[in-house]
A and B are shown apart, each in its own frame.
Chain A
């Protein structure tokens, strides 16, 4: 420890601390332009100069390490003179055009010029016309205002690993510029925008809309991916103008955001938002009052229930809605409607993966927090395009790997950003990750590299595993996975010898080839190498949905009451019955797949869908359409008139994330607050309110007066949420399990023991992805892209400017064979359906596969995918029969999307005819 005195205040700091940081510890303010908390010291702006006793010259405090006994003065006349000179020099070319600058009001330079009371100084001002980038979407760059502090250049390199721009030229004409002065074409994370101390880089959406000092900040959680970044929405009236990432103790993201979080908020103000409840009358959706809508639903449900029993009704909850809303939704279905037919999109991929974790470790949740990655010395990413699915979590991986603190091994079919940093990158054939993981487990057991102490004290089932792995030698699996046996062996050895290994797997729609089996095989690997139940080691499944974990926790699952308490358990059910004051249905209900099948078969007659769009997100679009058509009563509760809503009998308009209070549970079990920032438009209501009022219309009062009261109830009903009281979430998120109000939350699970005592390894058999026959030569890889999250962000104008349409990716070898080139349009034919899409030829995709993003309504990828209703493993039929080039002109008429429109038209016509024949309809269903 070194002692340093700054302006008479004494403090002790560790070796290597800079004078600037020591001053910050003492709350002494030293102005600086180029220094940034998360960047290496740069020492270019010279604003932070200080006087050090015993030395003649001034020192830039951001790059001078403290020496013992150092005495520093930060505010002497000499220091002031030096700083004024820096400002004078900056103002020789920085125009004082503050009235038109979007940074005005929070500009560091502006503040300091005010403080030092100088206008243009002795050197005057030279007006040089530099470039203003009018072409980049989202971010605008005005080089006239740039003070060359280099924060943007360094944050783009050190944090983003993107390197979009660099200092260009030399001397006075130096500018910060993208390569060859092109418009920016990057990840558009906007880290540079937030880092820019002046108004040189700014949001194109924000500029010239509102002065910064009129904006109010509302702290909330980002509603897009599973990371759950903390951000400040900057609002004025009922409009969101700007978004800032928040870096404080409670945030998960160190102030960083991705393009969706920073620029995606425009969907909130989209003119297509529905603002009135609607009921279908004579084939048309007609606006009605809320009371009429409730009445219609209540009567319709009552009728179905009395004719066919409560199990003829079903509900789909939402992985996008809050915990409170998911809780109320399943309570509505169970306690009010009286059925366990309630489920969510988690059924396709995410929940099966979590089941694998429960079978192995005893808890259906990620074992470690994302921040815990900083303790890992090896990160093993399986089929994880973390940069595009969970961007800010990806930054944590990049930081850990690029700083040399951890190695990265990637098993990825597609080349993605992290595979560039992986050593090795095992590019396995699509859908063969289980075979790959099994062969790695085989190597570890064969070479005796397992963690013997861990295996003998905390693991059971090892003998069965050993037996099942016979035949999984990497040499034999080489033909299946396409990864060289030597590489697999080396990777397995690296994992076995590393201290703390974190395994990342992306689950769900973003990664259809990972599911229960992949997670189970990964869990085996973690157990035999002793990489679970300790800090820095575990399995973190990642999701592209913000609250998929929460929706499962809240019991939006056919077989579980809130808190994964089985509905089939009499004791638990009786307790819930006592709490809710109703009789509850026994036995598991139909899950999402079951409900769609039952609806298509006419067994389920009414469905209530909250915040989900099965027509675009569930596999086998054709089957879903069939199901929706057959329903007697379809209630859709959403922000937009989705494809599913087009089939609805009742559409209820809801508020969205920035318009309501509640909590999200992110992909690492962290429960975080969202806060109401603006009023929701028109007659829209919060989901919790709709559910409460509808319950009342159906004769059940749940006694809820606000969203946070629901959280109160949750803490009573879900044991591992018991300590997560609303008031505790004001500052920080809390990782569940948190059983008591004084419990700090649990970042790392299974530290001393697994809930069931021992961790269990389970044999996992590798199954080829179902291409069915050689008739299906291509494998479809549906996935996400960086610039969108679900379909919601396609409602954001700015993001659409960057990624306006779906672009499929195909390998050059396939392209040659099919005579395709970039920008051609193709028709994809699978066993299930047809979709048409633009292609791009790129090496990042393996030969024999075609990647198609899932965000765009015009390109329904789910029309191509089928599922196996018997085995319920989620997406299974992924073979593509034909890829053929089509004329763009021709495509408009024949595409699935236009077919859908036609179908909707037909239904409406039919309904209209039916109404004409039978006379006007009375309210209360058909």
Chain B
């Protein structure tokens, strides 16, 4: 009988409470206003929200649900269904490594483990300094260049662990320069 756990901190008063604002939700309201003439606009609204914040923050998702008159759980269900939506902040650079068959047989695995150990993160994670997010993807559609990774919108092919390391170092150097450090 362990029903004596209280829920003070997550107690919600559904749709009427003033949200404890940590992020500015004005943009969300604007997006909702501009897109709610038609029904079924949840996904475009969420895409726009993600464009503003880089991810879909919890408060924004709840605010979208309230604004569109949906259950918060419904919006959460949609957000988790599509891989295009992200629920936590992402790095400045997105590194996607191919784990498809062609890349695998040509040593993709060593490239991936090099990147992971160098970045210190695994699939779907982001470095603490927000430098990069790392994802393993099924196929990048460039089997001729195997093993291949993509950094943001650039493809880098015919890699081995050494080359991968060098590319990552360059990326970090550029990132540092850009940020004026």
- Say if the beta carbon of A460 comes within 8 Å of chain B: no
In which size bucket is the chain A interface?
Answer: 35 or more
Interface 0/1 of B106-131, CB less than 8 Å to A: 00000000000000000000000000
Instruction: State how many angstroms separate the Cβ of A920 from the closest Cβ of chain B.
Output: 45
A168-B80, A843-B16 given; A135·B5 CB < 8 A:
yes
The answer to whether B74 touches A163, judged by C-beta atoms less than 8 angstroms apart, is: yes
The answer to whether A844 touches B16, judged by C-beta atoms less than 8 angstroms apart, is: yes
A180 surroundings in chain B (CB, below 8 A) = 58, 61, 76, 87
Task: State in angstroms the CA–CA spacing of A539 and B10 once bound together.
Answer: 39
- Say if the beta carbon of B18 comes within 8 Å of chain A: yes
Instruction: State how many angstroms separate the Cβ of A837 from the closest Cβ of chain B.
Output: 15
Instruction: State how many angstroms separate the Cβ of B124 from the closest Cβ of chain A.
Output: 12
CB-based nearest A residue for B11: A185
The answer to whether A843 touches B18, judged by C-beta atoms less than 8 angstroms apart, is: yes
Task: State in angstroms the CA–CA spacing of A798 and B3 once bound together.
Answer: 5
A165 surroundings in chain B (CB, below 8 A) = 73
- Say if the beta carbon of B133 comes within 8 Å of chain A: no
Interface residues of A in 129-172 (CB under 8 A from B): 134-138, 157, 162-170
The answer to whether B12 touches A185, judged by C-beta atoms less than 8 angstroms apart, is: yes
Task: State in angstroms the CA–CA spacing of A205 and B1 once bound together.
Answer: 5
Instruction: State how many angstroms separate the Cβ of A184 from the closest Cβ of chain B.
Output: 9
A179 surroundings in chain B (CB, below 8 A) = 61-62, 72-73, 75-76
- Say if the beta carbon of B13 comes within 8 Å of chain A: yes
B80 surroundings in chain A (CB, below 8 A) = 168-170
Interface 0/1 of B48-79, CB less than 8 Å to A: 00000000001001100000001111111100
The answer to whether B81 touches A802, judged by C-beta atoms less than 8 angstroms apart, is: no
The answer to whether B3 touches A163, judged by C-beta atoms less than 8 angstroms apart, is: no
B16 surroundings in chain A (CB, below 8 A) = 415, 842-844
Task: State in angstroms the CA–CA spacing of A633 and B116 once bound together.
Answer: 82
- Say if the beta carbon of A611 comes within 8 Å of chain B: no
Task: State in angstroms the CA–CA spacing of A812 and B17 once bound together.
Answer: 9
Q: Which of A167, A841, A843 contacts B77 (CB 8 A)?
A: A167
From B5, B82, B87, name the one whose CB has the most chain A CB atoms within 10 angstroms: B5
Q: Which of A137, A204, A209, A840 contacts B6 (CB 8 A)?
A: A137
- Say if the beta carbon of B176 comes within 8 Å of chain A: no
- Say if the beta carbon of A420 comes within 8 Å of chain B: yes
B72 surroundings in chain A (CB, below 8 A) = 163, 179
- Say if the beta carbon of B7 comes within 8 Å of chain A: yes
CB-based nearest A residue for B12: A185
Instruction: State how many angstroms separate the Cβ of A244 from the closest Cβ of chain B.
Output: 18
- Say if the beta carbon of B4 comes within 8 Å of chain A: yes
- Say if the beta carbon of A69 comes within 8 Å of chain B: no
The answer to whether A841 touches B1, judged by C-beta atoms less than 8 angstroms apart, is: no
- Say if the beta carbon of B15 comes within 8 Å of chain A: yes
- Say if the beta carbon of B2 comes within 8 Å of chain A: yes
A136 surroundings in chain B (CB, below 8 A) = 5, 7
The answer to whether A182 touches B77, judged by C-beta atoms less than 8 angstroms apart, is: no
Q: Which of B2, B62, B81 contacts A170 (CB 8 A)?
A: B81
B12 surroundings in chain A (CB, below 8 A) = 185
Task: State in angstroms the CA–CA spacing of A162 and B12 once bound together.
Answer: 12
B11 surroundings in chain A (CB, below 8 A) = 185
Q: Which of B1, B7, B13 contacts A135 (CB 8 A)?
A: B7
A180-B58, A844-B13 given; A137·B5 CB < 8 A:
yes
CB-based nearest B residue for A180: B58
Instruction: State how many angstroms separate the Cβ of A152 from the closest Cβ of chain B.
Output: 11
Interface 0/1 of B1-44, CB less than 8 Å to A: 11111110011110111100000000000000000000000000
A169-B80, A179-B62, A812-B18 given; A204·B3 CB < 8 A:
yes
Interface 0/1 of A234-263, CB less than 8 Å to B: 000000000000000000000000000000
Residues in chain B within 8 A of chain A (CB atoms)? 1-7, 10-13, 15-18, 58, 61-62, 70-77, 80-82, 87
- For the complex with contacts A137-B5, A185-B10, 11 further pairs of A-B residues with Cβ separation under 8 Å are A163-B74, A166-B74, A167-B77, A167-B81, A168-B80, A177-B76, A178-B73, A179-B62, A180-B76, A205-B3, A797-B4
